[in-house]
Chains A and B, each alone.
Chain A
Amino acid sequence: MSGTGKEQSVGIPPAEQASGARLTTLRILLSNEFGLLVLIVLFAIIFSTISPAFLSKFSLYALGRTSAVNIMIGFSMMVVIITGGLNLSVGSIGVCAAMFGGLLMQAFAMPWPLAVCGGLAMGAALGALNGFIIVRSGLHSFIITLATMSIFFGVMIFLTRAESYRDISPAFTSFGRMKLAGIISPLLLVSVVAGILLSVLFRYTALGREMLATGANERAAELSGIRVHRIITYCHLLSGVLAGVAGLMLVSRTGAAIPSMAGQLGQDWLLPAFLGPVLGGTLLTGGRVSVLGTFLGSFLVTMLTTGLLLMQVGAFWMQTYLGLLLLAAVLIDMVRRSYLTRRKLI
């Protein structure tokens, strides 16, 4: 008697399941991740036709190695973007962590695993400091991290007297220069592992879900018993750790910890940091994440950079192209979204 309502509640009636499957396929085809994959293949074809060197073993190896770092930088920004904030000090923190790791290896002659832990701890501490100031002051992370970007970098330059640490443990540098199966950099594997761990975090842990809920609606999250301030601090802490990983990856690759490795104030990292998550479909207003999207997004950006370099585009143009790409990505995303809405797919 009351059956009419019940069929529709919760469980999907079989008739709708078929159309549901079709919808799901369509949705996947129109998803960010798939779009990125298509672009990656497309550009790979374009670049390799113009310059066959693009597909050489060394070129592919270098691409993997560089993208590994960019992916990590993208992750670092991503975990803060999901709270609806941002972290302008990713570069600064990354360099600080790298320098600290370098210091431990050179001046204290620590074994490299310990030094790496030290470097990551530095990243975590600086990230946590960001988070702490943000939740305590109630100000937007933009302002706070803009300030700490300068502060962290300034203090680091002062303490290191802007000198590099070049006495890096050979075991550590050989890791960054190793080739697996001839073309794969172990650094890329590090990024893959980080990506898997982040996916697990967001999908299978209470902490990860709380991060997303806090980002999507802080008040609702708070009234559900989530300690929102603590969660935001954790996000910044995690961002610091991931920035530290990226910094240490660079050290392992170049064999030195150099204060200018991310440019003045670490600013060189900002564009890749935003490009990955934004291309990948992580919502800038928070609450939604795509780890795979960030991975692919950062990879695409690195590939474009490498490709353009191969085509001997000047470094200044490179920045312009990347900026245009960011703009194009956002615009394409808008078009895609409105298409999906119009076709009633989301």
Chain B
Amino acid sequence: MSIQNAPSETSVFVAEGMTKTFPGVTALEDVRLSLSKGSIHALLGENGAGKSTLIKAITGVHRLDSGRMMLNGQLFEPTDTRDAISRGIGVVHQERNLIPRFSIGENIFLESLNAHPLRRIDYNKLFRDARVWLEMLGVDADPAMPVHRLSVAKTQLVEIAKALSLNSRILLLDEPTAALTPHETDTLFKILRQLRDDGVSLMFVSHKLEEVQEICDRVTVLRDGKNACESQPLEGLDRQAIVRLMIGRNEQIPDWSARDRSTGKALLQLKNVSTSLGHKEIDLSVHKGEIVGLYGLVGAGRSELAKSILGKFQVTGGEVLVNGSRAEIHSVADAVRRYRIGYVSEDRKSEGLVLMHSVLENVGMPIWRRLAGLAHFLTNGKIRKHTEPYIRKLEVRTPSLEQHVGNLSGGNQQKVSVAKWLAAEVQILIIDEPSVGIDIKTKAYLHELIRELSDNGTALLLITSDMPEMITLADHIVVMNDYRIMGEIDNTRDYDTMSERIMTLIQGEELVAAE
């Protein structure tokens, strides 16, 4: 076997014949790759194509079944993650790996904390150093704050800070931007470009092709664990060419026209609602068959509002109406069972899924009671019948429905987390960042499903930081900032004017505040 793109002198890392199998799954098969100095290398592929497995093999999390990796011309066989770090390889994994009860500062410097077990930790210095990284990434948070109090996006940024603080020569980023808004992504990209200019080799995984085209110079595409292309220059490849490499055909772009669903019955209404978390004067209504989008920057309080509607946090003022009458929601169970409100969490790992249970068990959770009925008797067959259509439609890649969800690829976990609520047949569904980590092909299917759901009369409240997604799906867009509603607009589905109007609504407030 010969390497086609012979590694040039600047190649700091070369791998060939990488093969890795899991029970029932071949995650990587004879994969080749080379990273060069001062470059940002895109690693692309559908969900379950093997991207994360490849990164885990390089960083010593998984051991390859066969294959060879060379680092700076020397054979590289990492025994564990420590080993990889000490050889100058930094990584941001797709899943969060921070210690929830530790402070931001401690988490960022966890590796160096371990170095001298008996030495006293100088917390002042630690927090000072941490603040430098946080400011660089534009995170507004106290380094002494425990990580579990942070939002998903900020946790992601802390994870990135942690990797940056190691000053590695090779930096592997597995979907670092999945949970970020364009604003934070821009800040991150500035840093990445700086690193590239300093000669660091970066690898970047993302399902957002605009980002890839913006920042990467080379690309490797994986398809079913095999190379669809290897370390190819990105120049000259347009979006459709990349998509063809990934999924074997062109992307389908839905052409959905604007529609007005606000004439239907209002299924969910918030009137002058305030919450214990600090929301004020929230007015919002979602009609039967309507998709209302809730847009805002990270920290605008959208997920928090969703959880307040759900009864997880307290509504302290105003009223919540479901189906036209005042709803008494004291717990999430009330919301789900009495009022048939569902919530797809943005945080699949800790709130959306039970990772140690099977796919089937996860998708069935909200409907167990209903399916069991008065007899209280439940079989897998019954659950399968109700949930399998959604699992199929979203193409969840798994050797079987009995597979533990924790063993699926990140994007496939996300599909399960969404499928669970699509199958639940609720009358009001709040969807929080549904397509985080989902590949472009499935994203189109997901959008179809969401659209179908609304056509069948479900009222949907869509929270997403993905502007194109918002403009594709929403009928009506409500803009939030700082726990308040800034304004609302009907979606014309014209991307440029809509995105501009949304951004002015958000920034309008900032200008006023600055004065």
Chain A residues with CB under 8 Å of chain B are 1-2, 4-6, 8-10, 12, 16, 19-20, 23, 204-207, 209-210, 212-213, 216-217, 219-227, 287-288, 344-346
> Contacting B336 at CB < 8 Å: which of A204, A213, A224?
A224
- A5 and B357 form a contact (CB under 8 A): no
- A217 and B354 form a contact (CB under 8 A): yes
The answer to whether the Cβ of B310 comes within 8 Å of any Cβ in the partner chain is yes
10 inter-chain pairs at a CB distance below 8 angstroms, sorted by A residue, are: A2-B249, A5-B46, A5-B441, A8-B48, A20-B24, A205-B377, A206-B368, A206-B378, A216-B356, A224-B420
A10-B401, A217-B353, A223-B352 known, 11 other contacts, Cβ within 8 Å: A4-B224, A5-B395, A5-B441, A6-B395, A9-B395, A204-B377, A223-B312, A225-B332, A287-B356, A288-B356, A344-B21
Enumerate chain B residues within 8 angstroms of A288, measured Cβ to Cβ.
356
Enumerate chain A residues within 8 angstroms of B217, measured Cβ to Cβ.
none
- B248 and A1 form a contact (CB under 8 A): yes
Knowing A23-B23, A219-B350, say if A207 contacts B376 (CB, 8 Å): yes
Q: Which residue of B lies closest to A3 (CB)?
A: B248
* Centre residue among B23, B310, B420 by max chain A CB count within 10 A: B23
- B24 and A19 form a contact (CB under 8 A): yes
The answer to whether the Cβ of B369 comes within 8 Å of any Cβ in the partner chain is yes
The answer to whether the Cβ of B121 comes within 8 Å of any Cβ in the partner chain is no
Q: Which residue of A lies closest to B404 (CB)?
A: A346
Complex-state Cα separation, A287 to B441, whole angstroms: 34
Q: Which residue of B lies closest to A286 (CB)?
A: B356
* Centre residue among A16, A210, A223, A226 by max chain B CB count within 10 A: A223
* Centre residue among A1, A206, A224, A288 by max chain B CB count within 10 A: A224
The answer to whether the Cβ of B325 comes within 8 Å of any Cβ in the partner chain is no
- Taking the closest CB of chain A, its distance from the CB of B458, in whole angstroms, is 16
Q: Which residue of A lies closest to B47 (CB)?
A: A5
Complex-state Cα separation, A205 to B368, whole angstroms: 8
> Contacting B391 at CB < 8 Å: which of A2, A10, A206, A210?
A10
Knowing A209-B361, A344-B21, say if A217 contacts B355 (CB, 8 Å): yes
Complex-state Cα separation, A295 to B392, whole angstroms: 38
Knowing A287-B354, A287-B356, say if A223 contacts B310 (CB, 8 Å): yes
Q: Which residue of B lies closest to A207 (CB)?
A: B376
Enumerate chain B residues within 8 angstroms of A204, measured Cβ to Cβ.
377-379
Chain B 379-398, CB within 8 Å of chain A: the 1/0 string?
Answer: 10000000010011001111
Q: 10 nearest interchain CB pairs?
A: A225-B336, A206-B372, A206-B368, A224-B365, A227-B333, A217-B354, A9-B395, A216-B354, A224-B366, A206-B369
> Contacting A223 at CB < 8 Å: which of B248, B343, B379, B398?
B343
The answer to whether the Cβ of B320 comes within 8 Å of any Cβ in the partner chain is no
The answer to whether the Cβ of B28 comes within 8 Å of any Cβ in the partner chain is no
Complex-state Cα separation, A279 to B135, whole angstroms: 51
Enumerate chain A residues within 8 angstroms of B239, measured Cβ to Cβ.
none
The answer to whether the Cβ of B500 comes within 8 Å of any Cβ in the partner chain is no
- Taking the closest CB of chain A, its distance from the CB of B186, in whole angstroms, is 32
The answer to whether the Cβ of B210 comes within 8 Å of any Cβ in the partner chain is no
